[in-house]
Amino acid sequence: MSSYRPLHDGWTLTAVSGDAEVAGVAAAVPGCVHTDLLAAGLIADPYLDDNEARLAWIGRTDWVYETVFDWSGDGFERTDLVCEGLDTVATVILNGVQVATTANQHRSYRFPVRHLLREGANTLTVRFDSAYAYAEAQRAALGDRPGAYAEPYPFIRKMACNFGWDWGPTLVTAGIWRPIGLESWSGARLAEVRPLVTMEGADGRVRVHVRVERTAEGPLTVDAAVAGVTAQARLEDGQCEAVLELAVPEPEPWWPRGYGAQPLHELTVSLDGRRWSAKVGFRTVELERDGGAFTLAVNGVPVFVRGVNWIPDDCFPARVTRERLAERFARAAEANVNLLRVWGGGLYESGDFYDLADELGLLVWQDFPFACAAYPEEEPLRSEVEAEARQNVARLAHRASLVLWCGNNENIEGHADWGWQEKLAGRSWGAGFYHDLLPKVVAELDSTRPYWPGSPYSGAPDLPPNDPARGTVHIWDVWNREDYTRYGAYTPRFVAEFGFQGPPAYATLRRAVSGELAADAPLVLHHQKAIDGGAKLLRGLGEHLPQPQGFDDWHYLTQLNQARAVAFGIERFRALAPHCMGTVVWQLNDCWPVVSWAAVDGDGRRKPLWYALRRVYADRLLTVQDGAVAVVNDSAEPWTGELSLVRHSLTGKPLARASAAVEAAPRSVELVPLPDSVAVPGDPAAELLAVRLGGTRIVRFFAEDPRVAFPPAAYDAETAPVPGGLEVTVTARTVLRDLCLFPDRLDPASTVDDMLLTLLPGETATLRVTGSPDPEALVGHPVLRVVNGPTVWTGARGRARGR
């Protein structure tokens, strides 16, 4: 038997180095120093204005957390202090006696402390030394290593992006970031339960590896049960490990979103009244690599990955609740995403994260926490890496959603292509982790899913790592140097990173910046972390959109360009299936209010990119590619019908028509050549192409927007109250290019259900707006925007009319 007592109350925080005068401040556990100081009113919110710049001292200070708790003898043989997360360089002291030192945010710890407990009051102290001081000392001892940023994150097992990234602030944390408590027990306890769940033919198989910790000798019985099937193992004197086999006849398989249901079954393991349980789903996962392919197959079915990269959702992870994760996951699912890549500069995520992924059918690609740097392999780091890998592989092995372990993000590419080899001068850089240690750990502890050494990676150490013809590729010449039409020159097998920047929602930026909102305003620029990011945003407009005339134009046009750029890439890559079998957009989410590549900003608001993702990640997609219409059908049913092709004037007058019978098989792409009658315009500046199949319609212009002879936008708009908000009906009098509503400009709580709509004259769109924005202002500039609307064009020829 056992009992558990959380130790989350009564903590105080004190600075014990540097010049900070912080003593006895009430502290929240789980939490961190930054959030405690913020709650106490001792620092300004680091996410607002440029407050971050004045808070670097926190990461260079040593801190002490302390609490006093009462304890009395409870009759158990042993009591352990269980620390699920210490960030990072910690010394644990109980009643004046040092219990342990730790230096790994990615691990949990258990320390026997019964001999140190006393009747009545007990004092628990956790000292956190500066992560900077520790990492810099390791760097001095082991020799510097090259990386993307001049920060010492490779020298400490801690969330790398705490040290700043091209989308994140430098806020180096410390604290008890996951639960802490006392567990008392007698006889024996389940030290580790590692179920490996798969299918053999039509039957489900669970192989439960159990490790037991004992306080006494004697036989023990371990029981396991799932889906009505039971198994039992007997441990004799001295035995501490057992394997229980459960065969479940013909369970309903677990499938990714869009491929089937996600049935989950409770697996229980019991020992001497102690019970462990988890939800498991039956499926198989393979990685098909023939001919340079990178294709994930679940239950034998190849899956086209419609993915997004996931970064830590907050710089202070203890603030990320299950409810917040559920909201982010809902946004992913609504955008037709089927995979989340947990990026290597962050964390092994919480149990809530993987629970939600299992329940929603969102596949998880899990990077080990290494990113964008050469990592030393010497001690003490090697032992820490092995310990964290063993612990987390065992913790996550039963997860139905987890389909891939990946060794790192961009480190193999960095060593090959970023000039690291000369700087390293023969020093270790992580190859031993990615090609030896980590694959051995995965092979030993989790045989149910594949391991991939890193991304990008071409499948062998001697191959160029970022070769589009093999394995996974990251495409960053677009955004950094090239126009987004460059995506059209790629024929990749799998794109694991690509993206384009855009600002956050207006309400998010307005909350974060107290001063002037302008593209070049100092406080706005503080929320742009990419090198030369502001200039790249404007340069990225290229020939596609006009240069903005003021902040409102900058905000709309750069958000719109972000959406168009990413959509262009996804359409290209989906049209290449099955040669290309996946895209993983950089990125779904943000950790604070920032100009970035995210589709959902740091306050959880959807950017125009999110609406574009929902369209181009839909099961069924029409896209014009290289003189043909690609009919992309990633659904389980055939997509049949008459493909309608109409070349229109900008007034909506049909100029030419064509049609073709289409029968796109499930999970296929059919290419329909465009006849010259509709593909070749008489006047590219005054015509467009409309393509329709069933309920799906796309519009393509023959010239870039600045060269289109758009009429001044004219429309009628009506608003009507509905439960929870307003219904907005817009009827086009002229062509309306990329219609968007931004109701958060009027009411920060307001949202809209759709945007990026192009309407021909006479067409109508009805939008649903939540919240309480002013109805009249809602349908006027700058809340309602179209490319050919007011103030977008220099010397605008008219003003949009609405009522």
pLDDT at 790: 74
**CA-angle at 307, arms to 286 and 293, nearest 5°:** 40
In the chain, pLDDT over 90 holds for what percent of residues?
96
Instruction: List, in sequence order, every residue forming a beta bridge with 454; answer none if it has no partner.
Output: none
692-696, long-range: CB within 8 Å, 24+ apart, which pairs?
A: 692/643, 692/644, 692/646, 693/622, 693/631, 693/639, 693/641, 693/642, 693/643, 693/644, 693/662, 694/639, 694/641, 696/620, 696/621, 696/622
Q: What are the pLDDT digits (tens) for 585-644?
A: 999 999 999 999 999 999 999 999 999 999 999 999 999 999 999 999 999 999 999 999
Query: 484 by DSSP, 3-state: which?
Result: helix
Nearest residue to 164 via CA among 146, 156, 152: 152
Whether the predicted pLDDT of 793 surpasses 60: no
Comparing 2-183 with 622-707, is the CATH topology the same? no
pLDDT at 797: 31
Q: Please give the DSSP secondary-structure letter assigned to residue 771.
A: S
In the chain, pLDDT over 70 holds for what percent of residues?
98
pLDDT at 798: 31
Encoding tokens for residue 413? 């590419």
Whether the predicted pLDDT of 73 surpasses 90: no
How far apart (Å, rounded) are the C-alpha atoms in residues 802 and 786? 13
How far apart (Å, rounded) are the C-alpha atoms in residues 800 and 713? 5
pLDDT at 461: 97
Q: What are the pLDDT digits (tens) for 329-356?
A: 999 999 999 999 999 999 999 999 999 9
Residue 183 burial (C-beta neighbours within 10 Å; 0-12, 13-18, 19+)? middle
Q: Which residues of 367-387 are buried (b: 16+ CB within 10 A; e: fewer)?
A: bbbbbbbbbbbeeebbebbee
Q: What are the pLDDT digits (tens) for 698-734?
A: 999 999 999 999 999 999 999 999 999 999 999 999 9
Is this model's pTM higher than 0.85 or not? yes
pLDDT at 792: 43
Whether the predicted pLDDT of 556 surpasses 60: yes
pLDDT at 554: 97
Nearest residue to 634 via CA among 612, 613, 661, 616: 616
Mean pLDDT of 654-682: 97
pLDDT at 481: 96
The Cα-based distances of 382 to 212, 388, 428 in angstroms read: 26, 10, 11
Query: 279 by DSSP, 3-state: which?
Result: strand
Whether the predicted pLDDT of 773 surpasses 60: yes
The Cα-based distances of 159 to 174, 344, 496 in angstroms read: 11, 9, 21
Q: What are the pLDDT digits (tens) for 366-416?
A: 999 999 999 999 999 999 999 999 999 999 999 999 999 999 999 999 999
How far apart (Å, rounded) are the C-alpha atoms in residues 183 and 77? 11
Residue 281 burial (C-beta neighbours within 10 Å; 0-12, 13-18, 19+)? buried
| Domain range 187-280, CATH architecture | Sandwich (2.60)
pLDDT at 20: 86
Locate the domains of the chain by residue range. Answer: 2-183, 187-280, 289-621, 622-707, 715-785
Query: 324 by DSSP, 3-state: which?
Result: helix
DSSP strand pairing (495-498 vs 301-302) = unpaired
**CATH number, domain 715-785:** 2.60.40
Mean pLDDT value across the chain:
96
Whether the predicted pLDDT of 801 surpasses 50: no
Q: How confident is the model at residue 794 (pLDDT cuts 50, 70, 90)?
A: very low
pLDDT at 545: 96
Q: How confident is the model at residue 152 (pLDDT cuts 50, 70, 90)?
A: very high
How far apart (Å, rounded) are the C-alpha atoms in residues 105 and 158? 5
Tell me: domain 622-707, CATH 2.60.40.10, correct?
A: yes
Whether the predicted pLDDT of 308 surpasses 80: yes
Mean pLDDT of 270-296: 96
Mean pLDDT of 562-574: 98
Please identify which residue in the block is written with the tokens 């098989």: 665
How many CA atoms lie within 13 Å of 263's alpha carbon, on the beta-carbon side?
A: 11
How far apart (Å, rounded) are the C-alpha atoms in residues 334 and 319? 24
Mean pLDDT of 178-182: 98
Q: How confident is the model at residue 522 (pLDDT cuts 50, 70, 90)?
A: very high
Please state the separation of Cα 714 from the chain's center in Å. Answer: 40
Q: How confident is the model at residue 799 (pLDDT cuts 50, 70, 90)?
A: very low
Least confident window among 551-555, 670-674, 798-802: 798-802
Q: What are the pLDDT digits (tens) for 17-53?
A: 988 899 999 999 999 999 999 999 999 999 999 999 9
Q: What are the pLDDT digits (tens) for 232-267?
A: 999 999 899 999 999 999 999 999 999 999 999 999
pLDDT at 273: 81
**CA-angle at 595, arms to 592 and 596, nearest 5°:** 85
289-621, superfamily in CATH? Answer: Glycosidases (3.20.20.80)
| Domain range 2-183, CATH architecture | Sandwich (2.60)
Whether the predicted pLDDT of 803 surpasses 90: no
